[in-house]
Amino acid sequence: MTSPINVAQTSAGLSSSPVVEVRNLVKRYGAQTTVSGVSFDIVRGETFALLGPNGAGKSTTIEILEGYRDRTSGDVQVLGVDPQKGDLAWKAQLGIVLQSSAEAAHVTVREQVEQFAAYYPHPRDVDEVIAAVGLTDQSKTRIGKLSGGQRRRVDVALGVVGRPQLLFLDEPTTGFDPEARRHFWDLIRSLKAEGTTILLTTHYLDEAAQLADRVAVIAAGRLVEIGPVDTIGGADARVPVVRWRDAAGLRTERTLEPAAFVRALSAEIGEEPRDLEVIRPSLEDVYLGLVSAADAKAADATSATHATGAAHV
Ligand SMILES: Nc1ncnc2c1ncn2[C@@H]1O[C@H](COP(=O)(O)OP(=O)(O)OP(=O)(O)O)[C@@H](O)[C@H]1O
């Protein structure tokens, strides 16, 4: 991937008008509740990451917003329209990169992107899009001959070629090599600078930290936490950790004043602490803490239910 899409450099900025409004969203498959009362808004120009373990309900939520799945209950508005009633003009404002896609294997990259561009009223330049996803050298290659990561880049090209107002990216960089992932981030930043609203799911927490303004964590269909990337999880989850080694082995200390702690430690032992590190919890650390707390809560609720059930026997 080489050149991000060339866009006007004036940042559209974030406004408070919601592009996506979700209230008490519920989705059931038979007896299984996959999405359980989820509510959130996404404002214009925002990049919003939906995070959660496998099976948490992220794709189900996104597919409901895209109009691909009907909800069981709750209110959903996407660009002011209920997705269950969205018409073609509404769909033309969305860009969608699904988790799995089925491009035609026998057409070339350029033919496929060109064909998609023709569906939209104001498409981007096809060659510019192909360059932005780093496939210029493969533009005449049949899609069936591309690697998995290259096919994923075609998916991304198809998602952005229609110049969407709202872009859905469901695990967009799965299969990308590290360099391709960084180029993809540049592409997303340029779309964001243009004012595109983006809803992203990813299992790469560094990707969410790099791209998202806000993240929401869902676990077992419930919204566990929502907020700006640098405050999610609360202050307590972000206390720095000082790590060093002494005769007793690896030592750790959580402290809000790591510099003062290290000064005192060095003075006490009379030398530089061995293998010294000051670690600020990453989004991944915070996320893992939130998900394990949610798991523990769910396990408690299950054992309480069983206990109540047992008491009635
Ligand atoms: N059509 C369906 N019929 C029945 N159950 C389904 C259907 N689609 C999804 N599910 C179930 O709903 C749950 C949530 O799935 P979903 O794909 O939304 O999770 P996810 O958070 O996107 O997971 P992943 O990170 O693995 O993509 C899973 O238990 C899944 O098996």
Q: What is the pLDDT of residues 8-63, one digit of tens each?
A: 333 344 556 799 999 999 999 999 999 999 999 999 999 999 999 999 999 999 99
Q: How far is the CA of 71 from the centre of ligand 1 (A)?
A: 14
Q: Looking at this predicted complex, what is its ipTM? A: 0.96
Domains and CATH numbers, the chain: 18-228 (3.40.50.300), 235-312 (no CATH)
Q: How far is the CA of 59 from the centre of ligand 1 (A)?
A: 7
Query: What are the residues facing 78 on neighbouring strands?
Result: 20, 81
* Ligand 1 and 29: CB distance under 6 A: yes
* Ligand 1 atom with the shortest distance to the CA of 57: 18
The pick from 26, 27, 28, 29 for probing ligand 1's pocket by mutation, whose C-beta has the most ligand atoms within 8 angstroms, reads 29
> Would you state the structure tokens that stand for residue 140, as one six-digit string?
């005449």
* Ligand 1 and 52: CB distance under 6 A: yes
- 305 CB neighbour count, 10 Å cutoff: 10
Average pLDDT over residues 216-230: 92
* Ligand 1 and 59: CB distance under 6 A: yes
Q: What pLDDT score does 8 carry? A: 35
* Ligand 1 and 34: CB distance under 6 A: yes
Cα angle 257-258-262, degrees, rounded to a multiple of 5 = 125
Q: What is the pLDDT of residues 113-152, one digit of tens each?
A: 999 999 998 999 999 999 988 899 999 999 999 988 888 8
Is the pLDDT higher at 3 or at 151? Answer: 151
- Mean pLDDT check: name the lowest of 67-71, 249-253, 282-286: 282-286
Q: How far is the CA of 19 from the centre of ligand 1 (A)?
A: 24
Average pLDDT over residues 72-89: 95
* Ligand 1 atom with the shortest distance to the CA of 32: 5
Instruction: Give the dihedral of Cα atoms 208, 210, 215, 218; nearest 10 deg.
Output: 20
Q: What pLDDT score does 164 carry? A: 94
Q: What is the pLDDT of residues 184-220, one digit of tens each?
A: 898 899 889 989 999 999 999 999 999 999 999 999 8
Indicate the pLDDT class of residue 261, thresholds 50, 70 and 90: very high
Q: What pLDDT score does 11 carry? A: 37
Q: What pLDDT score does 6 carry? A: 47
Is residue 313 predicted with pLDDT exceeding 50?
no
The pick from 25, 58, 224 for probing ligand 1's pocket by mutation, whose C-beta has the most ligand atoms within 8 angstroms, reads 58
CA distance to 119, 199, 213, per residue, from 66 (Å) = 17, 11, 21
* Ligand 1 and 202: CB distance under 6 A: no
Q: How far is the CA of 176 from the centre of ligand 1 (A)?
A: 23
SS3 of the chain: the string is CCCCCCCCCCCCCCCCCEEEEEEEEEEEECCEEEEEEEEEEEECCCEEEEECCCCCCHHHHHHHHHCCCCCCEEEEEECCECHHHCCHHHHCCEEEECCCCCCCCCCEHHHHHHHHHCCCCCCCCHHHHHHHCCCHHHCCCEHHHCCHHHHHHHHHHHHHCCCCCEEEEECCCCCCCHHHHHHHHHHHHHHHHCCCEEEEECCCHHHHHHHCCEEEEEECCEEEEEEECCCCCCHHHHCCEEEEEECCEEEEEECCCHHHHHHHHHHHHCCCCEEEEEECCCHHHHHHHHHHHHHHHHHHHHHHHHHHHHHHC
- Name which residue sits closest to atom 29 of ligand 1, judged by CA: 55
Q: How far is the CA of 31 from the centre of ligand 1 (A)?
A: 14
* Ligand 1 atom with the shortest distance to the CA of 56: 21
- Name which residue sits closest to atom 17 of ligand 1, judged by CA: 59
In sequence order, what are the residues at sequence separation of 6 or more whose Cβ sits closer than 8 angstroms to the Cβ of residue 179? 1
Please state the pTM of the whole predicted model. 0.84
Residue 201 near residue 60 (C-beta atoms within 8 A): no
* Residue-averaged pLDDT of the chain: 88
Q: How far is the CA of 46 from the centre of ligand 1 (A)?
A: 25
> Would you state the structure tokens that stand for residue 199, as one six-digit string?
């809803």
Residue 216 near residue 48 (C-beta atoms within 8 A): yes
